[in-house]
């Protein structure tokens, strides 16, 4: 007997898999919430073997079961922006953890594209060395913007956003 892949199971029983996500978080409002809840539901040794693909997530999010459950969680306007109100909604995989969503609105003269990008990952914690790097410079009176610039030059292999470093700067 041939083993069934996770993608095949999703295509055959999308309602069952959508239920896992909504059981984990019944207040899902967008694709990012859905993706997080689904991955959290499958965050077990057996679930890690499922090899959840981003394209599978798109299939589940666009399934009729997910759409019907989303209608209960969001307003009609939000629902239209999620699934398109007669407009074309296009989702495609950028990387393993990132999916781009574009709504193409058709106007009389041109097409405008309004894009949203979702990327949910576990936050990277600061190491003691990174915290000391920021703390020492803060104590020396170096400006936050200069610390951010120096940090990203020093830690080229692990760059961080301005917001991430700025938050740590104020919390130290």
pLDDT in tens, the chain (172 residues): 455 677 777 888 888 888 888 888 888 888 888 888 888 887 765 555 566 777 777 788 888 888 888 888 888 888 777 776 555 555 555 565 556 555 444 443 434 444 555 555 677 889 999 999 999 999 999 999 999 999 999 998 888 889 889 989 988 8
Q: Domain locations in the chain?
A: 6-119, 128-171
Using the 8-state DSSP alphabet, how is residue 53 labeled?
Answer: -
Pairing of strands 111-119, 98-106: antiparallel
Give which of 71, 103, 75 is closest to 88, Cα–Cα: 103
By the 8 A CB rule, do 93 and 99 touch? yes
Phi, psi for residue 58 in degrees, rounded to 5? -65, -45
């Amino acid at each position: 007997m041939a083993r069934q892949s996770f993608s095949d199971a999703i295509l055959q029983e999308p309602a069952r898999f959508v239920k896992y996500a909504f059981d984990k978080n019944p207040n899902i409002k967008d694709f990012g919430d859905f993706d997080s809840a689904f991955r959290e539901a499958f965050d077990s040794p057996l679930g890690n073997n499922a090899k959840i693909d981003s394209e599978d997530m798109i299939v589940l999010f666009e399934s009729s079961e997910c759409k019907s459950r989303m209608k209960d969680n969001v307003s009609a306007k939000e629902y239209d922006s999620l699934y398109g109100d007669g407009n074309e909604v296009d989702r495609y995989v950028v990387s393993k953890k990132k999916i781009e969503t574009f709504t193409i609105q058709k106007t009389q003269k041109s097409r405008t594209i309004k894009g949203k990008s979702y990327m949910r990952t576990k936050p990277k914690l600061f190491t003691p060395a990174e915290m000391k790097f920021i703390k020492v410079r803060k104590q020396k009176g170096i400006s936050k913007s200069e610390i951010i610039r120096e940090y990203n030059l020093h830690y080229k292999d692990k760059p961080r956003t301005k917001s991430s470093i700025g938050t740590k700067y104020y919390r130290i």
